[in-house]
């Protein structure tokens, strides 16, 4: 992994949104509590999403600049370099787009992306994202709990796991011509993890639709797990009785476990997970258990050996 430098922001990028963040920071420095409540929505939601429901799950941390979130990515379908997705994902056609929900459900469904967008009120969720490569970001996502979508398909009593399948289309995704991963990208969760309200079906960031390099038109975001669990550009969700094998488990079974909970006490075989570099910062910070979401999610793993189920 190459060291990351925050790109300088050109004058053309100084938009109302940028001003908004400057103001937000100023207010925090001035000691203002409940700062989001004081801010005009109009500056925040300069994108197509006017009414954003306030989320109880947003962390109050300085946001990673939009420029960094959209130019330093992992999206191997578009290449393995951090700058490849921003350079190559522009061609991805995100309409028409459907997401099928199938398997152990009473009502299998194929949802159109434009219906998903209207399915539930969009919330802004400011989440930490911790990559397994020991860097992190703070991202203002837009979306709603995945449970909202899953419940419409009525999972059966046999639905113990959920599998996410990303788009397979080598004509649009040049990275799929290489066998670096077993395509299509597949990820998975236990059903209780998938139904947890923190699990976000994500449709946008920074008040706008998802940029292609961040997984347009729809992706998952799992804030307490390493970033690779947050599958991008998904076209299928399968409810299963048995635990699926994910693309990363196939690529490196000793390195990428099924659970992949952020855990500073369990090293990756090739590096420590005790610290992380917040993109844009110089000094490393300590990695938090479950990426700081232990109060919410530790009960899901109460009886599990987290060294074994890494």
Binding site for ligand MTE (CB under 6 A): 73-77, 129, 131, 166, 185, 214-215, 227-228, 230-233
Rounded CA separation 284/154 (Å):
44
Task: Establish whether 73 is an annotated binding residue.
Answer: yes
d(CA 207, CA 142): 7
CB of 256 to ligand MTE, least distance (A): 9
* Smallest separation (angstroms) from ligand MTE to the CB of 208: 14
Q: Which is nearer to ligand MTE, 75 or 206 (CB)?
A: 75
Sign of CA dihedral 38, 42, 43, 45: positive
Q: Please give the Cα distance from 82 to 277 (Å, whole number).
A: 15
Q: Which partner in Mo ion, ligand MTE, none is near 76 (CB below 5 to 8 A by kind)?
A: ligand MTE
Q: Is 216 exposed, middle or buried (0-12, 13-18, 19+ CB in 10 A)?
A: buried
Please report how close the Cβ of residue 215 comes to ligand MTE at its closest, in angstroms: 6
Cβ pair 72, 279 in contact under 8 A: yes
Q: Which is nearer to ligand MTE, 55 or 202 (CB)?
A: 202
Q: How far is the CB of 118 from ligand MTE (least distance, A)?
A: 23
Instruction: Catalog residues that contact Mo ion under the rule CB under 5 A.
Output: 74, 131-132, 227-228
**Within 10 A of 56 (CB to CB), how many other CB atoms are there?**
8
User: CB-wise, 129 or 249, nearer to ligand MTE?
Assistant: 129
Query: Would you say 298 is a known binding-site residue?
Result: no
Single out the residue of 123, 108, 18, 102 nearest to residue 65, CA to CA: 18
**Residue 134 CB: number of other CB atoms within 10 A?**
18
284 is in an annotated binding site: no
Beta carbon of residue 28, minimum distance to Mo ion (angstroms, whole number): 28
Is 232 annotated in a binding site? The answer is yes
Q: Which is nearer to ligand MTE, 44 or 135 (CB)?
A: 135
Q: Based on CB atoms, which residue is closest to ligand MTE, 141 or 161?
A: 141
For residue 153, give every residue at least 6 positions away whose Cβ sits within 8 Å of its Cβ, in sequence order, or none: 101, 102, 105, 106, 107, 108, 109, 239
Binding residues for Mo-molybdopterin: 73, 76-77, 131, 166, 214, 219, 230-232
């Amino acid at each position: 992994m190459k060291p990351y430098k925050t790109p300088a922001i050109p004058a053309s990028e100084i938009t109302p949104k940028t001003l908004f963040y400057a103001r937000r920071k100023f207010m925090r420095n001035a000691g203002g509590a409940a700062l989001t409540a004081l801010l005009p929505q109009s500056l925040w939601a300069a994108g197509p999403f006017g009414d954003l429901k306030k989320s109880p799950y947003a962390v109050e941390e300085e946001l990673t600049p939009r420029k960094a979130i959209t130019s330093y990515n992992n999206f191997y379908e578009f290449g393995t370099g951090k700058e490849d997705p921003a350079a190559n994902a522009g061609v991805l056609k995100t309409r028409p787009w459907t997401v099928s929900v199938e398997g152990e459900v009473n009502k299998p469904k194929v949802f159109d992306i434009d219906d998903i967008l209207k399915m539930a009120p969009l919330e802004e969720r400011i989440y930490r994202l911790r990559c397994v490569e020991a860097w992190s970001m703070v991202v203002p996502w837009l979306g709603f709990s995945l449970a909202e979508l899953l419940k419409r398909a009525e999972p059966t009593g046999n639905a113990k796991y959920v599998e996410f399948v990303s788009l397979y289309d080598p004509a649009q995704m040049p990275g799929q011509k290489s066998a670096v991963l077993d395509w299509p990208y597949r990820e998975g969760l236990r059903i209780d993890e998938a139904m947890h309200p923190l699990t976000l079906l994500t449709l946008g960031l920074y008040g706008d639709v998802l940029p292609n390099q961040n997984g347009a038109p729809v992706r998952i975001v799992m804030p307490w797990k390493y970033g690779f669990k947050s599958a991008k550009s998904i076209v299928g969700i399968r409810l299963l009785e048995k635990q699926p094998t994910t693309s990363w488990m196939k690529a490196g079974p000793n390195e990428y476990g099924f659970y992949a909970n952020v855990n500073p006490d369990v090293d990756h075989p090739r590096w420590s997970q005790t610290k992380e570099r917040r993109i844009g910062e110089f000094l490393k910070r300590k990695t938090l258990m479950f990426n700081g979401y232990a109060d919410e999610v530790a009960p899901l793993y109460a009886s599990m050996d987290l060294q074994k189920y890494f």
